[in-house]
Chains A and B, each alone.
Chain A
Amino acid sequence: MGRFALDLAHMLAGGMVLVSFMLLYQNRMFGLLNVFALHAVVLSASVAWQAHVQAAPHLYVTAAIALLLKAIVIPVALRRMVIRLGIHRSIETVGGIGLTMLMGIALVALSMMVMLQAAAEADPLAREDVALALSVILLGLLMMVTRYNAVSQIVGFMSLENGLILAAAGAKGMPLVVEISVAFSVLVAFIVIGVFLFRIRERFDSVDTHALDDYREGRQ
C-alpha cells in the first residue's frame, strides 16, 4: 500500500502538471476547452485517490464536484458561449509558444526547488503533492499573463484553482469547510465571468481584452 499509494498519487499530480503544459500550447479555442476538461478529470482522480489513501471520505465530495462542475458543466457552458459569440478562431499569445514552454519549465523547476526543500520534514505524500500543486498554480498564472483573450484567461485562472484544490487535498485532514468554499468560489467566479463576458459582447463585439486596452490608450 505505502509505496504504491505514493507512486500513484505522484503520477496523478504529475499528470496535472503535464496537462497544464498541454494547456499552454493550445492555439484553438475548442482544443483549449477540451484540454481543460482533461485537467479537471485528472484533478478529480487525484483528489479521489487522496481520499482513499487518507481515508477521508469528505474528499470524495471534492472529487465529485471537480468532475461534475469543472470537467463537464463549465467546459460545456464555455463551449456554447464561444460558439454563440463566434470567437472560435485561433488564440493570440504574447511571445511565442516555445518561449512560454521554456518559462513553464523554469517555473516548475523553481517550485520543485522551493517546496521540496521547505517541506523536507513533512509527510512525503503531502510534500510531493504540494510541490506539484505549486507548479500547476504557477503554470496557470503563466497562462493568464501570456493570453490576450478573455476566455483563455478564465481557463488559466480555473487551472490555477485546480492546483489550489490539489494542494488542499494533499494537506492531510484540512477541514471540509475550505474545500467546499473553494468549489463554491469557482462557481461564483464563473457566474461573475459569464456575466461580464456577455456584457462585454453586448457592447463592444469583442472579448479580446487587448481591444479594451487599445480603447483606453486612445482615450488618455
Chain B
Amino acid sequence: MTTILALLPFRPVDGVIALPAIAALLLAALPGRRRSAAINVVASFLTFLLATTLLVERPAPGDYVFVDDLNVVFVVLGTFVGFTTSIFSASYIAHEIDAGKLSPGQLRFYHGMYQALAFAMNLGLLADNIGLMWVAVELATLTTVLMVGIYRTHDALEAAWKYFILGSVGIALALFGTILVYMAAQPAIGEGEKAMVWTVLVAEASKFNPELLNVAFVFLMLGYGTKVGLAPLHAWLPDAHAEGPTPISAVLSGLLLNVALYALLRFKMLLAANPQTVAPGPLMVTLGLLSLIFAGFMLYRRRDIKRLFAYSSIEHMGLVTFAFGMGGPLANFAGLLHMTMHSLTKSAIFFAVGQIAQAKGTQRLSEIRGLTQSHPMLGWSLVVGVAAIAGLPPLGIFMSEFLIVSSTFARAPLLAIPLVFGLLVAFGALVLRLTDVAFGEPEGPSAPVDASYLPMVAHLVLVLTAGLWLPAPLVAWFQHVARMLG
C-alpha cells in the first residue's frame, strides 16, 4: 500500500483537496449530461479512495493542512457520503432533466457546484489554520446557497435568501470569534501566521488569556452553531432542505452539518487545553437539549416530507452536540458514533425521499400514502431508514442513542430526563408519520421509478451492520479519538 502511494506524484492529502477543485472547473466547462454525471461520480470516487489512504499514511502537519485521528474520521465519512450521493444524484438529475425542471446550463452549474462544495468541505476538515478553516466553511455556505436556489421558484428563492442571510450572520460571528482567538494567542506565540495554526495554538493554549478565549468561544459557538442547525439559530435549515435538489439535502444533512460541528469541536479542544477557561460543555449541552426537544415537537406539525426529515436532522445534531458537550470518553465515543450513523442514515432517507417525491410528483405528506404497496422497494427502504433514525434496535442509531442516554444517567441523572423525553417525543412523531406514508391504501398519481437503489441500500446495510457488530479496530479508533476530545 505504501509503495503504491509513493508512486503518486502528489501527496494524497493534497489530492483530497485538489481533485474536487479540478473536477469543479472541468464540470463547469463541459456540456453533456451523461458525461458530466459520470465525471462527477468518478471524481467523487477517486477523492474517497485518496481519503482512505490517509488512514494508512499521513503527512507531517504543515501550516495549512494537517491530518490527525479526529479529522480523518470526518474526511473518510464525508468523502464516502459524497461518493454515494453522486451516484444517487446521477439518476435524480436525469429525471429532473426529463421533467424539464433543469436546463443544460443549470446542470453544468449544478455539477460544478457539487464538486466545489466537496472541495470546500475537505479543505475545511483538513485545514490546520483557523483562518483557512473559516474561509472553507464560508465557501461551502455560498455554494450551497446557490444550489438551494437553483430551481428559481418562489419558495426556492425564499429558502436561499433566508439561508444566505442567516448563514452569513453565523459565519460573520464565527470570524469575529476567530479574530479573538488570534488576539488571545498573539502575545504568547507572536505576530503572524503561526498564531493561527491550530497545532501550534493547541500546544500553547495554556498561556493564552482565558477571558478572551471564553468570549471567543461564545461567538464561535453561535457562529458555527448556526451552521450546525442548533435551535434557536436553525431557521434556515428546514427551508434549505425542502426547496433545494434532494441530493443537496442529503449532502447538507450528511456532511455540511458535520463540518460545522467539527469546527466547533476543534475550538472546544482549544478551550480544554487551557485550564483557566470556563468549561464549554454546559453551553453545548444546553443548546443541544434545546434543539432536541424543540425539533421533537416541530416534527408533529410538518406537512412536507423533506421538511420533516430536516427537523429530524436538527434533533440529531442537537443530540450529538449534547453528547460532545457532556464530554468524557464514553459520551464522546457515543457522540462520534451517533454522528457517523446519522450521516449514513439521513442521507439514505433523503435518497429514498428524493425518488418518492419524483414518483408521486409531490412532497406533501398528505398526498403520499401506501408506499409499501405501490413502490415496495422504496417503501420498505423508507421504513427501515425511519426505524433507524427513530432509534429502533438492532440498527446503529439505537446503539449510539443507548450509549448517550446511559452515560448521561451515570453522570447527570437530572439531564437524562429531558434527554429521554425529547427522544420519545421525536420517536412518536416519526412513527406516526411513517405509518401514514408507508402503509394503507396507495393514493394519488404514481409513476414507476427508474433509479439506482445501490447507494440507499449500501448505507442501510452499513447502519444495520454497525448496530449488530462494530469491527474492533473501528471501536479502538473511536475510543482513541474520544479520549483526544477530552
Contacts and interface: CB of A to CB of B under 8 A. Distances in A.
Contact of B303 (A178, A189, A216, A220): A220
A126 B212 CA distance: 12
B169 A157 contact: yes
Q: Please list the 10 inter-chain residue pairs (A to B) with the smallest Cβ-Cβ separation, ordered nearest first.
A: A173-B191, A118-B211, A178-B131, A118-B215, A212-B158, A181-B135, A171-B183, A167-B179, A175-B193, A118-B212
A182 B168 CA distance: 12
A203 B212 CA distance: 47
A188 B142 contact: yes
B187 interface: yes
Contacts of A193: 164
Contacts of A219: 155
Contacts of B152: 199, 203
Given A119-B212, A137-B172, A192-B146, 9 more contacts: A114-B215, A119-B183, A130-B179, A171-B183, A189-B142, A203-B154, A203-B157, A212-B161, A216-B155
B175 A182 contact: yes
B41 to A, nearest CB: 28
A152 B305 CA distance: 34
A185 B214 CA distance: 27
B146 to A, nearest CB: 7
B183 A122 contact: yes
A160 B169 contact: yes
Contacts of A216: 155, 158
B179 A196 contact: no
Contacts of A90: none
Contacts of B209: 118-119, 121-122
Size bin of chain B's contact surface = 35 or more
Contact of B180 (A130, A160, A185): A130
A194 to B, nearest CB: 12
Contacts of A137: 172-173, 176
A161 interface: yes
A108 B173 CA distance: 16
A200 B191 CA distance: 45
Chain B interface, >50% SS class:
helix
A126 B187 CA distance: 12
Given A144-B165, A216-B158, A122 B179 contact: no
Contacts of A196: 149, 157, 160-161, 164
A185 B158 contact: no
B186 interface: yes
B151 to A, nearest CB: 11
B186 A173 contact: yes
B211 A120 contact: yes
B264 interface: no
Contacts of A126: 183
Nearest to A180: B135
B161 A173 contact: no
A101 B135 CA distance: 33
A10 to B, nearest CB: 17
Given A119-B212, A171-B179, A173-B186, A192 B142 contact: yes
A172 B191 CA distance: 7
Given A157-B165, A175-B193, A200 B176 contact: no
Interface in B194-241: 195-196, 209, 211-212, 214-215
Given A178-B131, A181-B131, A196-B161, A130 B183 contact: yes
